[in-house]
């Protein structure tokens, strides 16, 4: 239990250091209504609250029998997820949000047991919905990449 608390406190210190680094950030221009520093500060604040709870909670976190073990298969899935997220970051600008989300989302859904048809339908629908939500509702422009020929 003491190791769990020490880990939570160490990660809380990292969150605090990152928040101090992010606080003075000012972009030369801002195309978002809330500015570029609000999102990292919000995420670090939420992470900090969760870590604070983990550090002061009265009972230890105990692994239950129904949770997956940290075996070779689980580690392979974790490495595949990290690789897919790196692929998403690498293709985000060139392919655009929608295509890169589909390119990464379908294998991610397949990795966790989705069928090809359901994975493709759900990922395409979510990519389109998220693009519309960010672009139209929140005024956060996302790149269209190869699909920019379809725009007006």
Instruction: Convert the pLDDT of each residue in 97-131 to its tens digit.
Output: 999 999 999 999 999 889 999 999 999 999 999 99
**At what angle are helices 97-111 and 116-132 packed, to 10 degrees?**
140
Q: Are residues 51 and 87 in the same domain?
A: no
**Cα(83)–Cα(34) distance, integer angstroms:** 31
Q: Are residues 101 and 131 in the same domain?
A: yes
Instruction: Show the DSSP H helices in the chain as ranges.
Output: 2-22, 38-56, 72-95, 97-111, 116-132
Alpha-carbon distances, residue 37 vs 24, 106, 140 (angstroms): 8, 31, 14
Q: Are residues 27 and 96 in the same domain?
A: no
Does 15 fall in a domain?
yes
Alpha-carbon distances, residue 133 vs 72, 136, 151 (angstroms): 38, 6, 16
Does 126 fall in a domain?
yes
Does 105 fall in a domain?
yes
Q: How confident is the model at residue 28 (pLDDT cuts 50, 70, 90)?
A: low
**pLDDT above 90 as % of the chain:** 39
Does 121 fall in a domain?
yes
pLDDT at 65 over 90: no
pLDDT for 22: 82
The domain of 36 spans 2-56
Q: What is the pTM of this model?
A: 0.60
Does 65 fall in a domain?
no
pLDDT for 34: 63
pLDDT for 127: 93
Q: How confident is the model at residue 35 (pLDDT cuts 50, 70, 90)?
A: low
Question: What's the number of domains the chain is made of?
Answer: 2
List the end-to-end C-alpha distance of the chain, in Å, as a whole number: 58
**Cα(61)–Cα(128) distance, integer angstroms:** 38
Q: Are residues 94 and 137 in the same domain?
A: yes
Q: Are residues 133 and 81 in the same domain?
A: yes
- Name which residue leads in pLDDT, 25 or 18: 18
Does 67 fall in a domain?
no
**Cα(130)–Cα(88) distance, integer angstroms:** 15
Does 61 fall in a domain?
no
pLDDT at 54 over 90: no
């Amino acid at each position: 239990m003491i190791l769990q608390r020490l880990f939570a406190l160490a990660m809380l210190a990292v969150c605090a250091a990152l928040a101090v680094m992010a606080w003075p950030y000012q972009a030369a221009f801002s195309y978002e209504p809330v500015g570029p520093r609000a999102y990292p500060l919000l995420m670090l604040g939420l992470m900090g609250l969760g870590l604070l709870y983990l550090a002061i909670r009265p009972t230890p976190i105990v692994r239950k029998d129904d949770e997956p073990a940290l075996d070779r298969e689980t580690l392979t899935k974790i490495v595949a997820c990290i690789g897919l997220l790196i692929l998403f970051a690498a293709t985000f600008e060139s392919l655009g949000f929608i295509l890169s989300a589909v390119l990464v989302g379908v294998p991610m859904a397949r990795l966790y047991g989705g069928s090809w048809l359901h994975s493709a339908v759900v990922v395409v629908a979510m990519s389109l919905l998220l693009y519309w939500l960010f672009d139209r509702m929140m005024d956060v422009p996302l790149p269209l990449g190869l699909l920019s020929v379809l725009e007006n």
